[in-house]
Copies of this chain bind each other. A is one copy, B any other.
C-alpha cells in the first residue's frame, strides 16, 4: 500500500524523527563517540582544544571544532572560555553527556568482546566469494 499512514507509532525507529535515529546519527559520526570517551576519561574533567586535538589522533581542526559545536548544541558538552590573551577554551562533558557514556560503554564492551568473531566472519565471507 501503500499505506499512506505507515507507522505513526511514537518512538518508532522507522520514523526519521525518532529519538534513537537522532542519537545514532550523532554518535555514529566519525568523531563524536571518540570525543565523548576522551572527555569522559579526562581526569580534570576539562580539556582544552589543543589537548583534544592531540588526544584524538587524526582529527582535523575543522572536524574537532565542528563536532564539538554540535555536541555543545545538543547539551552534551560544555564550552568554557577563559577571557585571557590568547584565549583558552575548555571543554567538558555535561551531566547529560556523561550519562550517554554509559550506553556508549556498552557498545564499546560488545565491540571488544566480539570483534574477533566479526573479523573472522568477515574473513570467511570474503574467502567464500573473493570476487
Could you list which residues of chain A lie within 8 angstroms of chain B, going by C-beta atoms? 1-2, 4-8, 11, 13-16, 19-25, 27-30, 33-34, 37-38, 43-44, 51, 54-58, 72-76, 96, 99-100, 102-104, 106-112, 114-115, 117-118, 120-122, 124-126
For A102, the chain B residues whose CB sits under 8 A away are 106, 110
Partner of A118, one of B13, B23, B112: B23
Bound CA span A73–B109, Å? 21
Q: Separation in Å of the A128 CB from the closest CB of chain B?
A: 10
Query: Known contacts A7-B57, A115-B19, A126-B73; is A121 also within 8 Å of B109 by CB?
Result: no
Query: Known contacts A6-B57, A13-B37, A73-B126; is A111 also within 8 Å of B29 by CB?
Result: no
